[in-house]
Structure 1
Amino acid sequence: MTNDILDLAAKVGRALEAKGLLMATAESCTGGGVAQAITEIPGSTGWFECGFVTYSNASKSEMLDVPAALIAQFGAVSVEVAGAMAEGAVANSNAGVAVSTTGIAGPSGAVPGKPVGTVCFGWSRGGATHTERLVFSGDRHAVREQTVAHALNGLLRFLE
């Protein structure tokens, strides 16, 4: 884990602490990487509630209440599903804010319109949800690392 990511995680922690919020993660392509970065920070128990690693479509529905019909209509890698994942993480935890990641880290898995490196993000708090879709370059490790960094940066912006 890079120092840049750890610095971001510490900033997220300070922002959450200042607002008195707990956070949750809902991760697919990052496999818990966002939660790992957060929990590397001493004292994160004060602002980190839990992480959901929902790699399969079934787990997205079962653990985060993402409608199977939404996944069928838009695909697991979509801003619609990313938003529902973040909302589901808040709804199924004591967290006040959540971040989600779902994407195609590679080297395979690309489909028409969704090349390797496509990642969708969701941030949810108090009924407001923001989503984004980006395409990162590099190998599987690089895509996942960029995804963790962007998820944390986005959470910082979302908390402002």
Structure 2
Amino acid sequence: MEILSEASLQSPVGLLTLTASGGAITGLSWGVTSSVIAVPSEPDGILAEALQQLSAYFDGRLRVFDLPLHVAGSDYQRAVCAEMSAIPFGRTRTYGELARRIGSSAQAVGNACGANPIPILIPCHRVLGSSDLGGFSGRGGVETKVTLLRHEGAAGLLI
């Protein structure tokens, strides 16, 4: 059985819980997860670094996350996550733009964005529909997406 660890951080978009295994971040979810087998009393290593980077992001001191991430899933899921990770802070792309880059459909990209296991760190909030905001799978849905885009200075798109 794989040993996972987790650590949580209160943020402007709610309580975020990071999950790690094997020296990499494997998940970010809202609230507290129930899948964890071993929870350290004080986060260390990759979880401590991830908490520091998320705090710096929300404080406006960090624009690029530098953490080892492990995306479980298909090669396609990892390819979409890699494309999302390449979108710079404060910028956006459409599902269609990402689809063209990887030779796929916008709908398939949207499904992969919705299945992103590490939102915020893999910035699926920066991916929009061609004529609307698209969706967001984190707690709060599109409202959380708007909050993250405003935080990054991409709010001009929302007017």
TM-score, normalising length from structure 1?
0.31
TM-score, normalising length from structure 2?
0.31
